[in-house]
């Protein structure tokens, strides 16, 4: 297979690299670029641990090919701190002890960031729908939903 040169922005930095047509975005981010917040979970797009923002929308990086990032603006948790909602969400999650192991945290925070950027007055229903694709095996979701709801209300 012939390698393709792709150019994109990753966490505010320009990136240019050659990838094979079948290279998975998650593997490229973790293995070649050293980005560790998107995790390898199910490798089927079901758990949300590999979530990244691509052009402002959540994407399961285990299902995306690296070539799909060509020309895109990618944000992982490492670079999301400059976004309006991310720091507030992180502080509220910490205050509410919303995560235990933290494995799902990057995907949940990025999903909540996308939600609040689009709908800063999100209801509990909106919140539950936005994080439905993120599996948490530790908390039972109540502290997660509560942290997002309080962030949305500015508490």
% of the chain surpassing 70 pLDDT:
99
Q: Report pLDDT for 51.
A: 97
Question: Does residue 123 have a pLDDT over 80?
Answer: yes
Q: Report pLDDT for 30.
A: 98
Q: Report pLDDT for 84.
A: 86
- Per residue in 58-73, pLDDT (tens digit) is 999 999 999 999 999 9
- Contacts of residue 111, defined as CB under 8 A and 6 or more positions apart, other chains included, come to 48, 51, 58, 130, 131, 133, 134
Task: Supply the CATH number for residue 36's domain.
Answer: 3.10.20.30
Binned at pLDDT 50, 70 and 90, residue 81 comes out as confident
Give the end-to-end CA distance of the chain in Å, rounded to a whole number: 53
Domain that holds residue 134: 83-152
Task: Supply the CATH number for residue 93's domain.
Answer: 1.10.150.120
Q: What is the pTM of this model?
A: 0.93
* Closest listed residue to residue 67, CA positions, set 127, 18, 27: 18
Question: Does residue 90 have a pLDDT over 90?
Answer: yes
**Whether residues 88 and 141 fall in one domain:** yes
Out of 79, 103, 125, a domain closes at 79
CA dihedral 102, 154, 127, 94 (to 10 degrees): 10
Separation in Å, CA 95 to CA 61, 112, 120, 142, 147: 29, 16, 20, 14, 8
**Whether residues 65 and 117 fall in one domain:** no
CB 96 within 8 A of CB 147: yes
Q: Report pLDDT for 62.
A: 97
Q: Report pLDDT for 146.
A: 95
- Contacts of residue 40, defined as CB under 8 A and 6 or more positions apart, other chains included, come to 26, 30, 49, 50, 62
- Per residue in 48-60, pLDDT (tens digit) is 999 999 999 999 9
Q: Please state the rounded mean pLDDT for residues 5-25.
A: 97
CB 147 within 8 A of CB 89: yes
Q: How many domains does the chain have?
A: 2
């Amino acid at each position: 297979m012939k390698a393709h040169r792709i150019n994109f922005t990753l966490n505010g930095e320009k990136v240019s690299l050659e990838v094979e047509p079948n290279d998975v975005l998650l593997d490229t981010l973790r293995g070649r670029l050293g980005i560790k917040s998107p995790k390898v979970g199910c490798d089927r797009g079901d758990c949300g641990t590999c979530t990244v923002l691509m052009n402002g929308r959540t994407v399961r990086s285990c299902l995306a090919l690296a070539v799909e990032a060509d020309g895109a603006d990618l944000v992982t948790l490492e670079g999301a701190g400059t976004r309006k909602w991310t720091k507030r969400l992180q502080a509220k999650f910490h205050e509410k002890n919303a995560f235990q192991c933290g494995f799902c945290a990057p995907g949940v925070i990025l999903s909540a960031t996308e939600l609040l950027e689009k709908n800063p007055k999100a209801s509990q229903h909106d919140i539950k729908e936005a994080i439905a694709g993120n599996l948490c095996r530790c908390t039972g979701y109540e502290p997660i939903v509560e942290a997002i709801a309080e962030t949305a209300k500015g508490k």
